[in-house]
Amino acid sequence: MKMTFRWYGDNDPVTLGQIRQIPGVTGIVSAIYNIPVGKVWPVEAIRELKEKVSRSGLALEVIESVPVHEDIKLRRGKYQEYIENYKENIRRLAAEGIRCICYNFMPVFDWTRSRLDQPLPDGSNALVYYKEDVDRMDPAKMSLPGWDASYFPEEIEELIREYQLQGIEGLWENLKYFIQEIIPVAIECNVNMGLHPDDPPWPIFGIPRIITDEAAIDRFLSLYDDPHHGLSLCSGSLGCAACNDIPHLVRKYGKMGRIHFAHMRNVKILEDSSFEESAHPSFCGSLDMVEIMKAYYETGFEGYMRPDHGRMIWGETGKPGYGLYDRALGAVYLMGIWETLEKEWKKR
């Protein structure tokens, strides 16, 4: 297992120097954030990012993410041009030593929350999803970090209508087409492609979402029979639906060698599909983080892992979900579990 940490470039309040001081963290997960979705990333920009990370004493082997253009998801307009650009990005990243690319196929919106700074009883602030609040939101006027902000409200409304007309099976067909186009390039370049599940794993605003549970993951992996075609398995995204048994999923897909990137975070499941993001330890939320880590260890996981969203603690401000302190605590907590598992295994 290789412990990594997400970094949003020079504009990130968290510095590479600070990340370098977190025990056990050896790698950075990042991307080129100033290139419009669907365009080819300049080789110079990729190389500059890699060299900057390397100078800090860390490694850049994972890109999160190379976004998928909406035209690809809808198979409309310039979708074939955007797919060719996507293939070229895979080639260029591979040439600079990138071994894993994280991406998702969520229509219109990336991860969705109702509030980014909900005060918790301990005085920290966290990302939360309260169903009543989400039901009252106007999706055309929403904006969250990580979303593509290049669309006007009327364009978002049109996108939503198109996805509603396309439906679940239409989205599956378009995902299948995309996968069959890009995975041969990933195989050629020896890059592992890790699809991130939908977050949260159910339809929002009447828009279909399809990477939601075990049956959906089975269907997704069946689209291309090759180990380069795999998952960025996020415990928090799938775990906020009580029907998803995360240790079971890790064991099942880990034994298949199809988990390339592990996002580790805990969530506290509330009533009516609501949830709050919590600190990483098991007792802070609804997920058994020790059992999840045990599943990774027992299946011989050698891929990349990172502590996912953290709370804002100790008065820190910054990018919601991506402050330094709570994620650093999470990384050390996870490394401690891993060390314990290693020592227990040796005793046997």
Q: Assess contact for 246 and 282: CB atoms under 8 A.
A: no
Q: For residues 269 and 159, what is the distance between their CA atoms, to the nearest angstrom?
A: 30
Instruction: List the catalytic residue out of 234, 280, 297, 326.
Output: 234
Cβ–Cβ under 8 Å, residues 177 and 86: no
Active-site residue, 308 included: yes
Catalytic entry in 322, 325, 326, 333: 322
228 annotated active-site: no
- Say which of 228, 229, 260, 263 is annotated catalytic: 263
Residue appearing with tokens 């302190």: 325
309 is catalytic: yes
Distance CA 240, CA 242 (A): 6
Residues in the chain, total: 348
Give the chain's count of helices (H) and strands (E). Answer: 11, 12
Task: List strands edge to edge, sheet with 125-129.
Answer: 115-119, 125-129, 275-277, 267-269
Q: Is 260 a catalytic residue?
A: no
For residue 195, the number of C-alpha atoms closer than 13 Å in the C-beta half-sphere is 28
Question: Any catalytic annotation for residue 248?
Answer: no
Distance (Å, whole) CA 267 – CA 239: 7
How is residue 207 annotated by DSSP? B
Question: Catalytic residue at 280?
Answer: no
From the list 297, 309, 325, 333, the catalytic residue is 309
**Annotated catalytic residue, options 308, 325, 326, 333:** 308
Active site residues: 196, 234, 263, 308-309, 322
